[in-house]
Chain A
Amino acid sequence: MSGMPTIQLREVAAWVGIVLVLLAAWLFVHNDFYLRLMMIGAAYMVATIPFGLLIGHMGYLAMGQAAFFGLGAYVVGNLTTLRFEENYWLALLAVILVNAAVAYALSFPLFRLRGYHFAIGTLGVGQLAYLTFKSWDWFTGGTFGVSGIPTPAIGEYEFGDNSRLFLLGAVFLLISAFTSWWLARGHVGLALRAIRQDEDLAAARGLDVLFYKRLIFVYAAVFAGIAGGLYAPMQISFDPSTFTVWSSFQFVIYVIIGGSGTLVGPALGVIFVTVLQQAVQDFGKWNQIVFGLLIVLCVLFFRGGLWGALQLLWQAVSRRPRHG
């Protein structure tokens, strides 16, 4: 198995571009409403990009990701306000450990399953987690929820308003995106593709299939937890209704509409869905119809999603005359 492919100039340029866009967004957006959408969007992207590796690259449809998202939020809630008054960063570290441990334990039963069985199994985990969040008052405050997460701070610099919280989210977004990119471009990415195409063949050819599946599952769960940990201080309060099976479906929707099997797609999906949600708000309750139809259309005709559509468009525009 060969090492990493050499880094191309194109990729460096893309990363510089992403950092610049995030920086520009932070510097020039002052509208509090937009900042709020941006910071929540950033938190969701932290979870969605690694999740895209799981359901897109690897092809394992997980339908209970809100369980890990919620676990992250509640671990932070417990350690900073509900039970203890620990430092926020310590709590975030605890989230990483707890989520990794829980995901690792769950990977044993869940990866005995594949295909629709895996989807139903994770759906069951998601529902179990939601019911647990709802009824385990000691850990979650029950339906009253958790409120008053202290603002994270580094020394004197407090992440007290939406703009600074967006900055915090953007930093973790970069970490999440960069690690996902790093994983996807090397031999892990090849392994994931092999698993999606034919798991039995990959195993027969000597690939330690279970190792890679477990790696990506734990990785996605850890970042879902971090996203939950970031989401917690962005809210005045949160309760179990944020972590239902529907929230899990939301992550799937981001990836499918944005474009599964790519790295940009899931992030694009979060942006697109957030913007569209604002745009169709005037229709009131019709907005779910728009997303439902989009999913059906994406699955039926357009597996590449939005990012695939943009790429096709780019190819059409920039097509040069062929020689020979």
Chain B
Amino acid sequence: MQDFTVLVQQLIYGISYGMNLAVAAAGLALLFGVYRVVNLAHGQQIMLGGYTAYVVSTAFGAPYFVGFLAAMIAMGALGVLLEYAVFQFLQKRPLTDQMLASLGVFMVLGTIALRIWGDFEARAVHMPGRDSALVFSGLRIDASRLYTVLITLILFGLLYVIVYRTHIGRMMRAMAQSEEAAMLMGIRRQGIAAVVFFLSGALGGAAGALLGGLFNVRPSMGFQPLLMALVIIVFGGMGSINGALVAGLIIGVLYNLTVFYVGSTLGELLPFIVLLIVLVLRPEGLFGLPVRRA
């Protein structure tokens, strides 16, 4: 039964990685759904979230959980700042303009991190369970992987409650359906924008703190998750949080299994092959709204 154990182990690793990506992607999806922005700077919010967790929990010696919360709050605040400084001026512009501006922000934030924390030196965030493993009948699973799954499930639960069970969530969904009608109903655009950017940034920060805990923190760590998150939101359907979760799980598991059983080259290529196939066959993704085709 050795093979089967290995398969289960790889599945669990794939699920934890996929959940992790799904958190990052959910931030992007929420922002796109309500605010119609493809925010490339999200990648750097992931990276800076990792560093925030590192600074708070490793350098200051606070528990990991405190660092995790600090990462969420700090990156949420950064999101609000970005909305205030950049994105609010791009409301009436084509979406590609907002992508370009966010690319500029990506470069700025990346340089700042590079300047503060140095080139490629990886730093470890002390996540509980990183060195301990659970063993069931020959199956060894890192405890940190299970924590990741648990934390992401809680985050998605909270997100659902906020989006579907609160007044603010209802306003956000109204905004997503029809901005004009929502504003006629007395919803203030600026207020909702701030909330959405905060939530999106917080999710990015959470993803960064988790990635930093599982692997290490480095200035270039935001780029790969950003690309994966873009694949996931297209696959899941732009703006759909359910889509982000499902697509994240599929991509994470596929990626892990391919890397393990076939090879890392194909594993790295796979998400982008999936991206192209989805874009061609079903541009609206799994749960997205119909896309006007060119």
**Is chain B a partner of chain A in the same complex?**
yes
CB pair B99–A61 under 8 Å, yes or no, is yes
Contacts of B94 in A (CB 8 A): 59, 115
A259-299 residues with Cβ-Cβ distance < 8 A to B are: 285-289, 291-296, 299
Q: A121 contacts which of B90, B111, B223, B276 (Cβ < 8 Å)?
A: B276
CB pair B294–A295 under 8 Å, yes or no, is no
Contacts of A26 in B (CB 8 A): none
CB pair A116–B275 under 8 Å, yes or no, is no
Bound state CA distance, A56 and B201, in angstroms? Answer: 31
CB pair A113–B276 under 8 Å, yes or no, is no
CB pair B103–A112 under 8 Å, yes or no, is no
Q: Which of A199, A286, A292, A294 neighbours the largest number of chain B CB atoms within 10 Å of its CB?
A: A292
Q: Which size bracket describes the interface of A in this complex?
A: 35 or more
Considering only CB atoms, which chain B residue lies closest to A128 in the complex? Answer: B272
Considering only CB atoms, which chain A residue lies closest to B294 in the complex? Answer: A114
Binding-face segment, B192-200, B210-218, B226-234? B226-234
Bound state CA distance, A292 and B291, in angstroms? Answer: 31
CB pair A295–B275 under 8 Å, yes or no, is no
CB pair B275–A120 under 8 Å, yes or no, is yes
Bound state CA distance, A300 and B92, in angstroms? Answer: 11
Q: Which of B100, B230, B234, B268 neighbours the largest number of chain A CB atoms within 10 Å of its CB?
A: B100
Given A296-B86, A299-B90: A124 in contact with B114 (beta carbons within 8 A): no
Chain B 88-105 against A: per-residue CB contact (8 Å), 1 yes, 0 no? 011001111101110111
Q: A285 contacts which of B95, B115, B275, B276 (Cβ < 8 Å)?
A: B115
Chain A 150-187 against B: per-residue CB contact (8 Å), 1 yes, 0 no? 00000000000000000000000000000000000000
Bound state CA distance, A199 and B292, in angstroms? Answer: 12
CB pair A286–B115 under 8 Å, yes or no, is yes
Q: How many residues of B contact A (CB 8 A)?
A: 42
Q: A294 contacts which of B89, B104, B234 (Cβ < 8 Å)?
A: B104
CB pair B279–A117 under 8 Å, yes or no, is yes
Bound state CA distance, A213 and B280, in angstroms? Answer: 17
Contacts of B111 in A (CB 8 A): 285-289, 292
Bound state CA distance, A294 and B103, in angstroms? Answer: 11
Query: In terms of DSSP, what is the predominant structure of the interface of chain A?
Result: helix
Contacts of B101 in A (CB 8 A): 295-296, 299-300
CB pair A116–B280 under 8 Å, yes or no, is no
CB pair B268–A112 under 8 Å, yes or no, is no
Q: B279 contacts which of A124, A127, A128, A132 (Cβ < 8 Å)?
A: A124
Given A112-B294, A120-B230, A295-B103: A128 in contact with B108 (beta carbons within 8 A): no
Given A128-B269, A128-B272, A135-B265: A117 in contact with B104 (beta carbons within 8 A): no
CB pair A116–B90 under 8 Å, yes or no, is no
Contacts of B103 in A (CB 8 A): 249, 252, 292, 295
Given A128-B272, A296-B86: A115 in contact with B95 (beta carbons within 8 A): yes
Chain A 290-322 against B: per-residue CB contact (8 Å), 1 yes, 0 no? 011111100110000000000000000000000
Task: Using CB atoms and an 8 Å cutoff, list the residues of chain B in contact with chain A.
Answer: 38, 86, 89-90, 93-97, 99-101, 103-108, 110-112, 114-115, 223, 227, 230-231, 234, 265, 268-269, 272-273, 275-276, 279-280, 283, 291-294
CB-defined A-B contacts under 8 Å, sample of 12: A114-B292, A119-B38, A120-B38, A121-B275, A123-B227, A286-B111, A288-B108, A289-B112, A292-B105, A296-B101, A299-B97, A300-B90
